[in-house]
Amino acid sequence: MSRDVAIVSFASTSVTNTDVTETQLLYPVVTEAIEQSGIRRDEIEFTCAGSCDYLQGAPFAFVSNLEATGAWPPISESHVEMDGAWALYEAWVRLQDGDIDVALAFSSGVSSRAVDLNEVTNVQLDPYYLMPLWPGHLALNALQARALLDKGTYTERDFAAVAARSRSDGRSVDDLLNEPYVASPLRAHDLPPVNDGAAAVVMVAGDRAKEVCSRPAWITGIDHRTDAHYPGVRDLATATSARIAAEKAGVGDGDVDVAELYAATSAQELILRDALGLGDKVEINPSGGALASHPFMVAGLTRIGEAFRQINENGCNRVVAHATSGPALQQNLVAVLSAEMNTLAAPTMNGVAR
Amino acid sequence: MERCAVVGIGQTKHAKVREDLSMAGLVREAAQRALDDAEMTWRDIDAVVIGKAPDQFEGLMMPEVYLADALGATGKPIFRVHTAGSVGGSTAVVAAHLVTSGVHEKVLTVAFEKQSEGDTTWGLGGGRSGSIGAGGYFAPHIRAYIERSNAPEYIGWMVALKDRKNALKNPYAHLKLEELTLEMIKESPMVWEPVRRLEACPASDGAGAMVLASEKVADAASKPPAWVHGLAVRSELGQFPGRDPVNPQGGRDCAADVYKQAGITNPRQEIDMAEIYVPFSWYEPMWMENLGFAAEGEGWKMTDEGATDFGGDLPTNVSGGVLSSNPIGASGMLRFLEAASQVRGTAGEHQVDGARTALGHAYGGASQFFAMWIVRSAKP
């Protein structure tokens, strides 16, 4: 049985074509998350950051992001070259040790300076057999969408419906279906925008979480898994690793009010709904998801932060958050957030002053 | 917190160019050896934790995505750590926490660098041309150390000679300089004053791997495990007025943390051997002070008196260290796994007699990231 750990605060930013550095984007976000938590900066016992040097085009780019934490005197800190959702996972693991109670996780990414982000994501592929074909995430995600259509369960109209709901920009499904393909069968609205951003969460273990936050979001389950990298050796129309992660995180153990899914294409949302076993009653991505805002390396942690908000601000009881890494949903993380603690008798949240 | 032990260790033969291996082949060579040593198969592993230094060194972004297949991670968690030069150590620390937290029981951790794929000096300059490289960056710190401590010039040459002689006993070491003499080091070209060419680490292709396990698994293992007694990381800002990059606070704090966890009050007396991150010869005396083995300004005397020699009272880098093999992302993990190998009594020709408590150490960035562990033959 895991130790009860809750998210007690979340802050984020997502902008277009920022003219500041990742560190500058991070600083106010980290500060806001800490101030919101009601916990002093020097009470944070472990910090984990996520980012990708390749986005800034400079090795060791992550080093300067340490400035956003004010790492002096020296802090116990680690960094993952992954989406911030995995930074949160490392911090959650560290809290499971039981010797510390407060952790900070954050991530950042400035993607807008790449002339073509697809050229950057191409460099994430197997360098010997796949990278030279230059598919990037775009072509692989399109192949995935095609594989999904070929199964016959969904149509391009379903893709457009996901896009229309996520973007909520007044265009109808029929309007969207009249648009040209970018990479068949995906149209512009099926693909995410390019954003720059940062996000931060503060996590607290045990009773301290209830002291600092009137309605913390308890992490009752969290797990991450990967699929094989080669697109030819797995069924792109399913997300096996997401399904396993969801089972391990206990998604099916109770009703789900809302799910925040990191779907970088409209087709991926449909694949994820099925993989996570989310029924029709589950509201998907009220935040708009990655189709509305897509700060690379931050979008996953943002899903978890939005899930926290659903519990903390909107009165939800059980919310699922998902993050992904790699092309075509190769690697997936699933977390279940709850208004109630895992191991102890559920305290009544009603009547507790904010 | 659960107990954690090293039950399997593997590393590649490190070389300037491993042209016989792809990146996947390189990590597999080390990982397969660690699994064989642990008497396990890929199927037994619960999770994989992989680390390496900047992705631009090989030109492959987030390589854990591509390496998932080679590391048998399909259907399992794979996790990627990047903390600059300290990453090999930090990666082992992250993997160990997966066990101490009770989340997993058998974790494979791997770190690698294939320096021959790219231009590391370019990378170390933050991707700008005209880079001064790591040596150029650290040389002023070394000069400051020499000025503060009044250490004689030959101390650096002694460290370089000692570590290269030690490497002759390590079958995995990259550099094998059998004919090397103090005179040759002294006469080698000055690269970054006061660092001469033969006082600097090589550029290597290589990988290191370990299987970390819970107490239950380690108790059932047929070979002796190395028990983790202390585990710590520290980070500090790289540049601000008043910071001391020669004897950084982060390193002192990190050491104090692992010693406290392991119940060590007199490190010089209680630690039998140390594997520390020495990419340029002078970092041996500098870290001896930072790690509390010597008083400030006295670290060089340990080298001078032979305390850090193979037969000294604190044998240091008997594997040959970073000065003999430097696959950057793996270099920290090699320190950690060599320390573990010593307390298991499996180090072979470079085994230190009676090593029961050992320190593994790594640092990175502008001497601002630290990772350390204390391992023992006895259970905590």
The ipTM, to two decimals, is 0.97
- Contact between B233 and A77 under an 8 Å Cβ cutoff? The reply is yes
- Contact between A34 and A77 under an 8 Å Cβ cutoff? The reply is no
Tokens of B379: 């259970």
Q: What are the CA-CA distances from residue A313 to residues A256, A353, B118 (Å)? A: 16, 13, 49
Buried b (16+ CB within 10 A) or exposed e, A181-214: eebebbbebbbbbbbbbbbbbbbbbbebbbebbe
- Contact between B364 and B351 under an 8 Å Cβ cutoff? The reply is no
Q: Which CATH architecture describes the domain B4-119+203-220?
A: 3-Layer(aba) Sandwich (3.40)
Task: State the pairing for strand pair A181-183/B226-235.
Answer: unpaired
Domain A5-113+196-338: which CATH number of 3.40.47.10, 3.20.20.150, 1.20.1630.10, 3.40.190.10? 3.40.47.10
Q: If pLDDT is split at 50, 70 and 90, which confidence band does A57 have? A: confident
Q: Which residues in chain B touch residue A81, judged by CB atoms under 8 angstroms apart?
A: 55, 62, 64, 80-82
Chain A closest-CA separation from residue B318 CA (Å): 28
Q: What are the CA-CA distances from residue A326 to residues A24, A81, A262, A263, B114 (Å)? A: 26, 12, 12, 12, 21
Taking CA–CA distances from A129, the nearest residue in chain B reads: B66
Tokens of A238: 């399913």
Classify residue A286 by its DSSP letter: T
What does the pLDDT read at residue A101?
97
Separation of alpha carbons B145 and B245, rounded Å: 10
pLDDT tens sequence across B240-252: 999 999 999 999 9
Of A63, A94, A244, the CB nearest to B75: A244
Task: Report how far Cα B173 is from the mean position of its chain's Cα atoms.
Answer: 13
What does the pLDDT read at residue B133?
82
> By percentage, how much of chain A surpasses pLDDT 70?
96
Q: What are the CA-CA distances from residue B371 to residues A78, B185, B206, B237 (Å)? A: 10, 30, 20, 15
Handedness of CA B115, B120, B126, B129 (dihedral sign): negative
Say whether A76 and B58 touch across the interface (CB within 8 A). no
Chain B closest-CA separation from residue A83 CA (Å): 10
Chain B closest-CA separation from residue A14 CA (Å): 22
Of A2, A75, A226, the CB nearest to B78: A226
Residues of chain A with CATH 3.40.47.10: 5-113+196-338
Separation of alpha carbons A98 and B365, rounded Å: 29
Residue A136 pLDDT > 70: yes
Separation of alpha carbons B38 and B9, rounded Å: 7
Q: What are the CA-CA distances from residue B165 to residues A317, B16, B159, B330, B377 (Å)? A: 64, 19, 10, 21, 26
> By percentage, how much of chain B surpasses pLDDT 90?
94
pLDDT tens sequence across B196-238: 999 999 999 999 999 999 999 999 999 999 999 999 999 999 9
Beta bridge partners, B165, equal none
Tokens of A350: 């009603």
Beta bridge partners, B85, equal B83
Q: If pLDDT is split at 50, 70 and 90, which confidence band does A344 have? A: very low
What does the pLDDT read at residue A1?
63
Say whether A66 and B103 touch across the interface (CB within 8 A). no
